């Protein structure tokens, strides 16, 4: 079986990939995660996912490497990881009452063949109109400081939304598993056909 590498240090992506029951290793890629001038959210997510996967190619010359990156966008503004409480509160105030699009880039690189496939999945969350007290209380309780958009959908973040739209809720957390399974099956890595899964 081909070696499978997740090019990420994210505990969220690791937990998602573990759902599939296929053995893999995690290795952190080192790339600059800055947007180019005029680059759209989906273009940025796709490019960074590809760069992450290809950054590890020389270390693993006969592997399948998964790269993924997520860019959140609200009213034309890109939303990064807040990093601190003040930024998280400001982001949630900005998103209150508005839809936020989460563009998650996915790349599967075949280092043996020197090829890769990249795609982008979008998932939209519609925020409730949130009061300052609700926002402050949420940030204090869920501490979403390392999450683009300043919430954890798998936690209390669900209380912030009116509705969610998309094909795969895993996309919102950071790894579009439905599309990833399609790509892995091209290499005979099928979660339902794998021993021990």
The residues that bridge with 126 in the sheet, in sequence order, are: 99, 163
CA-CA distance, 64 to 111, in Å (whole number)? 6
* DSSP code at position 35: P
Which of 42, 69, 110, 142 is an active site residue?
69
CA-CA distance, 158 to 151, in Å (whole number)? 8
Report the candidate in 182, 30, 45, 28 with the shortest Cα–Cα distance to residue 123. 45
Active site annotation includes 182: no
At which residue do the structure tokens 């070696």 appear? 3
User: Phi/psi of residue 103, each to 5°?
Assistant: -100, 115
Residue 77 token pair: 């503004």
Whether the Cβ atoms of residue 185 and residue 179 lie closer than 8 Å to each other: no
Whether the Cβ atoms of residue 167 and residue 158 lie closer than 8 Å to each other: no
CA-CA distance, 87 to 25, in Å (whole number)? 33
Residue 46 token pair: 């796709």
Helix, strand, coil percentages for the chain (3-state, nearest 5): 30, 25, 40
Q: Would you please indicate which residues are annotated as catalytic (active-site) residues?
A: 69
């Amino acid at each position: 079986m081909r070696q499978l590498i997740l090019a990420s240090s994210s505990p969220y992506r690791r937990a998602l990939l573990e759902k599939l029951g296929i053995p893999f290793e995690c290795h952190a890629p080192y790339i600059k995660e800055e947007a180019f001038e005029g680059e759209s959210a989906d273009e940025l997510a796709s490019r960074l996912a590809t760069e992450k996967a290809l950054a590890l190619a020389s270390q693993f010359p006969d592997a399948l490497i998964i790269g993924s990156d997520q860019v959140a966008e609200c009213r034309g503004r890109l939303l990064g990881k807040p990093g601190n409480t003040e930024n998280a509160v400001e982001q949630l105030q900005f998103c209150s009452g508005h839809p936020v699009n989460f563009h998650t880039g996915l790349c599967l690189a075949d280092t043996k063949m020197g090829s890769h496939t990249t795609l982008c999945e979008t998932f939209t969350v519609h925020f409730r109109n949130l009061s300052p007290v609700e926002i402050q209380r949420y940030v204090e309780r869920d501490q979403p400081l390392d999450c683009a958009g300043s919430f954890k959908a798998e936690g209390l973040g669900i209380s912030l939304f009116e509705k969610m739209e998309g094909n795969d809720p895993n996309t919102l957390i950071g790894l579009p598993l439905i599309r990833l399974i399609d790509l892995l099956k091209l290499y005979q890595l099928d979660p339902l056909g794998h021993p021990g899964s």
